[in-house]
Chains A and B, each alone.
Chain A
Amino acid sequence: MHCHEVENCLEAFLDTELPATESAAVRLHLPTCTSCRNNLKELEAIRLMLRDNLATEAPTSLDSNVMRAFDRYYSGSAGVTKTRSRGSLFAISLPAFALGLLLVIAASLLAFYVGKRSAMAEVAATQRFDQASTKNEIEKEITSAKIDENDEREGRPPSRTASAGIDPRSENLRKPPMNLREGSVTHERVKPTSPARIAAQNTPVTSRLDLEGFTPVAEPKLKITRKENQKNAK
């Protein structure tokens, strides 16, 4: 047997896996070849190192778990439950952790969105309330101005009843002024009693002066009122 042949079967020789004839040939070759002897020595040393260092003793907790499982199985229980070792018991799998994290993020986003929406709704409600109150005041002023205009046309002294909170359509207001009621044909204008009334009489009814102090938010409504006024005049 030559060196290269021995080299190829040295491991099997060491593992006692070589057929008897080949093993005998290696045995014959080794005393004559230093190189092959050294190779075998090295392989043996590595093998010894591995055998010495790879051996590991099983933990005692395994004994109790396995014996308990055996007893449970043969004592008539349906199946054997596997007891997880301490390291695995507290280990959380990655998908479970990711799912949990996603749920927390989704819940936070939902809470933020709901909170934002309710805050926006509150702001919008406040704005609507403000607009509505402004509009009501403007409408009230316009109604009062209309009444004044009608009064003026009919020769009555302008009365800001609407502003005073009196219904302009009430019976008393529809009655003509005292001088007309008593049969007078002259349509005398009643002298205004206060400077504000004088100003109100001399200025157009729907002018911005009348709305002084009110924000003309509802401009389109004012325009409609003018048309309506013109129609009434016709």
Chain B
Amino acid sequence: MKRDLSNYIIERAASGDAEAFREIYFALRSPIYGFAYRMLNDAAKAEDIAQEVFIFFIEHSGKFDPERGSLFAYLCGVARNLVFAHLKKKRNHSETWLEEASEIESNGNGGSPLGLVLHRELSTKIGEKVASLPPIQREVIILRELCDLTYQEIAAVAETDVNTVKARLFRARRSLARELTPYLTSSEEKYHALPRS
């Protein structure tokens, strides 16, 4: 995924160039939406948040400073603030996750029907396990594994330091390993044989 956007494109988008804006938008829309969706597990709310993030960029593109980090990390920070504001308002978000986890579709799966069923089941399980993490651990694991941010960028987005990010990541991974290892050991070969996007 192409997320390294040049300053030239960002400047052009900020000055109203629709083509430049489209390039930025299509490079960042899925990870931004995915972050909001995985944090909230509410497709409608995630769409609202992603829309607000891009509208924020349209209206306040001058606020972005390329020297402080990438545009993607900057917009992840905006999305993170909106997500946590929503989580504060609605504390019982975990129930909706469990209700809607079965609707999660992974993209571009081609393969045998059994492979698809297994993949979907595993996907649901992983979604549930990630949802069961505390929000601060969930946040770092999503920013790391879904958004592919560096420790430094995660620290900037989560408004903390790199050591705290490492500690949160370590705890989140240990917790997920405990929960997901049975699926790995029993069907590691099967999992590796599954079709991937």
Residues on the A chain within 8 Å of B104, using CB: 53, 56
Interface string of A90-105 (1 = CB under 8 A from B): 0100000000000000
- The answer to whether A57 and B30 touch across the interface, beta carbons within 8 angstroms, is yes
Instruction: Taking A49-B122, A84-B48 as given, write out 20 further A-B residue pairs in contact, using a Cβ cutoff of 8 Å, ordered by the A residue number.
Output: A17-B151, A52-B196, A54-B130, A54-B145, A56-B37, A57-B105, A57-B107, A58-B29, A58-B33, A62-B51, A63-B29, A66-B54, A67-B25, A69-B58, A70-B21, A70-B54, A79-B59, A80-B55, A82-B51, A88-B48
Which single residue of chain A is at the shortest CB-CB distance from B104? A56
- The answer to whether B52 and A62 touch across the interface, beta carbons within 8 angstroms, is no
Residues on the A chain within 8 Å of B183, using CB: 49
| Contact among B30, B44, B59, B173 with A56 in the assembled complex (CB-CB below 8 Å) | B30
Known contacts A12-B166, A69-B58; is-contact A54 B34 (Cβ 8 Å): yes
Residues on the A chain within 8 Å of B38, using CB: 54, 56
Which single residue of chain A is at the shortest CB-CB distance from B15? A74
Residues on the B chain within 8 Å of A55, using CB: 30, 34, 106-107, 146, 197
Confirm or deny: A15 has a beta carbon within 8 angstroms of a beta carbon on chain B.
yes
Which single residue of chain A is at the shortest CB-CB distance from B126? A53
**B window 8-25: CB within 8 A of A:** 16, 18, 21-22, 25
Q: Is the contact region of chain A dominated by helix, strand, or loop, or is it mixed?
A: helix
Confirm or deny: B64 has a beta carbon within 8 angstroms of a beta carbon on chain A.
no
- The answer to whether A62 and B177 touch across the interface, beta carbons within 8 angstroms, is no
Q: How far is the CA of A206 from the CA of B91 in the complex (A)?
A: 85
Which single residue of chain B is at the shortest CB-CB distance from A84? B48
Q: How far is the CA of A87 from the CA of B47 in the complex (A)?
A: 10
Closest-CB distance, B44 to chain A (whole angstroms)? 2
- The answer to whether B44 and A80 touch across the interface, beta carbons within 8 angstroms, is no
Q: Name which of B43, B51, B59, B169 has the most chain A CB atoms within 10 A of its CB.
A: B51
Q: How far is the CA of A45 from the CA of B185 in the complex (A)?
A: 10
- The answer to whether A82 and B48 touch across the interface, beta carbons within 8 angstroms, is yes
Q: How far is the CA of A66 from the CA of B16 in the complex (A)?
A: 14
Closest-CB distance, A164 to chain B (whole angstroms)? 87
- Which bucket holds chain B's interface residue count? 35 or more
Known contacts A46-B173, A46-B180, A66-B25; is-contact A51 B145 (Cβ 8 Å): yes
A-B contact list, 6 entries, CB within 8 Å: A57-B33, A82-B52, A85-B48, A87-B43, A88-B48, A91-B44
| Contact among A46, A54, A62 with B29 in the assembled complex (CB-CB below 8 Å) | A62
Q: How far is the CA of A69 from the CA of B42 in the complex (A)?
A: 23
Residues on the B chain within 8 Å of A228, using CB: none
- The answer to whether A66 and B30 touch across the interface, beta carbons within 8 angstroms, is no
- The answer to whether A52 and B197 touch across the interface, beta carbons within 8 angstroms, is yes
Residues on the A chain within 8 Å of B181, using CB: 42, 46
Q: How far is the CA of A156 from the CA of B51 in the complex (A)?
A: 109
Residues on the B chain within 8 Å of A52, using CB: 106, 123, 196-197
Confirm or deny: A131 has a beta carbon within 8 angstroms of a beta carbon on chain B.
no
Which single residue of chain A is at the shortest CB-CB distance from B123? A53
- The answer to whether B170 and A11 touch across the interface, beta carbons within 8 angstroms, is yes
Confirm or deny: B157 has a beta carbon within 8 angstroms of a beta carbon on chain A.
no
Confirm or deny: A61 has a beta carbon within 8 angstroms of a beta carbon on chain B.
yes
Q: How far is the CA of A43 from the CA of B177 in the complex (A)?
A: 8
Q: How far is the CA of A69 from the CA of B38 in the complex (A)?
A: 25
Closest-CB distance, A190 to chain B (whole angstroms)? 101
Confirm or deny: B156 has a beta carbon within 8 angstroms of a beta carbon on chain A.
no
Closest-CB distance, B11 to chain A (whole angstroms)? 15
Confirm or deny: B87 has a beta carbon within 8 angstroms of a beta carbon on chain A.
no
Confirm or deny: A86 has a beta carbon within 8 angstroms of a beta carbon on chain B.
yes
Confirm or deny: B150 has a beta carbon within 8 angstroms of a beta carbon on chain A.
yes
- The answer to whether B145 and A47 touch across the interface, beta carbons within 8 angstroms, is yes
Closest-CB distance, A80 to chain B (whole angstroms)? 5
Residues on the B chain within 8 Å of A12, using CB: 151, 166
Closest-CB distance, B147 to chain A (whole angstroms)? 9
